[in-house]
Amino acid sequence: MSEFENNERIDKLKAVAGNDWWVDPVNADFIHLSSLQKVSVREKSEFQEIEIIELGSFGQCLILDQKIQSSERDEHAYHESLVHPVLLSHAVGPKRVFIGGGGEGATSREVLKHKSVEECIMVDIDGKCVDVCQTHLKDHHRGAFENPRHKLIIEDAKKILEESADGYYDVIILDLADPVDGGPCYQLYTDSFYQMCKSKLASGGILVTQSGPCGILSYLDVFTPIFVTVRSVFPQHTYPYVSNVPSFMDDYGFTVALKDVEPTFIPKYTSIQDVDERIDERIEG
């Protein structure tokens, strides 16, 4: 079946669903329906379509270009998985953290729970999306934008990183949309971009990127190419990990890469007891 034929089939299903159901084409052969309770926002920015929709199963959701990015019921599963394994793997606790993307502010919320963090710089290219999230997704950011340690910059994350001093950041978190051709983020998944990120990390620094769905039906689409590309830049210490995020309708993958690290702080060598001790020492809130 051609892409045109599949899109035509999806459009027919949307017409039948009407205003009662939200249609989520997970892939060409798998479509998820969720009861549509309320549409709070439906706008288009310079970069993407932005919707805030309440779904029966997942509550308030941020939807970009008709794909769920974050839901009230399970956003914690995504944001905690993106942030805490990485920050807890840092040898002494990171002081300076860079976030690329993260418009809802939930990634910033989790970063700011770490007592060692002195500066959290969040860079998102879509100011309209950030404004919408600040207004309508308060349970996601929970005041992170007002934290004095937090700095929001509306700009291309690549540009801001390029302008940063080499070795400045202890952790770089890439909370970006998937690398779709023509989308706002596709240039932030290349080996040259990851090489530049590596130069901006301090010794012992860590990079993590969301890496898309990684289930048996989807791992080759986005997850595998991202992991392979990151590993080409960080050949010694690049690791995949996975979290279950129900609203994404699949297992969800992340890729973490470590620069110049001591073996005891490589995640696969870290014991449960070590992790528990670091949580007690480093996190509040």
Alpha-carbon distance of 189 to 177, in angstroms, equals: 10
CB 280 within 8 A of CB 106: no
Report CA-CA distances (Å) from 71 to 28, 74, 151, 247: 23, 6, 24, 7
Alpha-carbon distance of 193 to 222, in angstroms, equals: 16
At position 170, the amino acid (one-letter code) is D
Tell me if residue 124 is catalytic. no
Half-sphere exposure in the Cβ direction for 255 (13 Å, CA): 27
Alpha-carbon distance of 16 to 22, in angstroms, equals: 11
- Of the candidates 124, 175, 178, 250, the residue annotated as catalytic is 175
Which backbone phi and psi does 259 adopt, to 5 degrees?
A: -110, 120
Write out the catalytic residue numbers: 175
